[in-house]
Amino acid sequence: MIMKLKHLTTVILSVGLLFMISCKSKPKDADIQAAVTTALQSSPGVSADVKDGVVTLSGSVASQADKDAAEAAVKLNQGVKSVVNNVTVAPPPPPPPAPVEVTADDALKTAVAGIVKDFPGIQADVKDGVIIITGEQKADRWKKLKMALDALKPKKVDASGLKVK
């Protein structure tokens, strides 16, 4: 009876010891998660998932350097076995459209005069990049004129004073 009890104690003790050892070598995922989350505070946009000591990073960052930094910050934590870096690097935003080029008034005036002289009945003025067209013109001729004027890169072609026949 005593022998049996002794045996049982040994068994309980060894099981307990084993449990403790396994606990020590394997920090709980929740603890890793907490540490990793703190480490990721400097990496906005990245989140971590921990399972059996394996940290999976997800989210989106602006550059490869940011992605690498997040992985490095996580790796340092105790209990992290490996890191699966699923963070995506977002493509840079498209460059803003090039501003509209407007020809300077002097150059525009010369060019407009050169074109308009072939369109009798049309008067043209240039002010602040805007070509102001007045007079009368047939529709197909006006179309030709408008095509030529638009090619001069004006700010606007104001034909509100034009009568199309």
Positions that interact with another protein (CB under 8 A): 97-100, 102, 110-111, 113-115, 117-118, 139, 141-144, 146-148, 150-160, 162, 164
Nearer residue to another protein within complex by CB, 80 or 142: 142
CA angle (92, 72, 80) in 5-degree steps: 130
Phi, psi dihedrals of residue 31, rounded to the nearest 5°: -65, -45
Nearer residue to another protein within complex by CB, 32 or 145: 145
Least separation in angstroms between CB 91 and another protein: 21
CA angle (125, 110, 100) in 5-degree steps: 75
Nearer residue to another protein within complex by CB, 92 or 97: 97
Tokens found for residue 114: 């050169």
Tokens found for residue 17: 């010891």
Nearer residue to another protein within complex by CB, 3 or 98: 98
Exposed e or buried b for every residue in 7-28, given b needs 16+ CB within 10 A? eeeeeeeeeeeeeeeeeeeebe
Least separation in angstroms between CB 90 and another protein: 24
Least separation in angstroms between CB 123 and another protein: 16
Least separation in angstroms between CB 136 and another protein: 12
CA atoms of 124 and 134, how far apart (whole Å) = 6
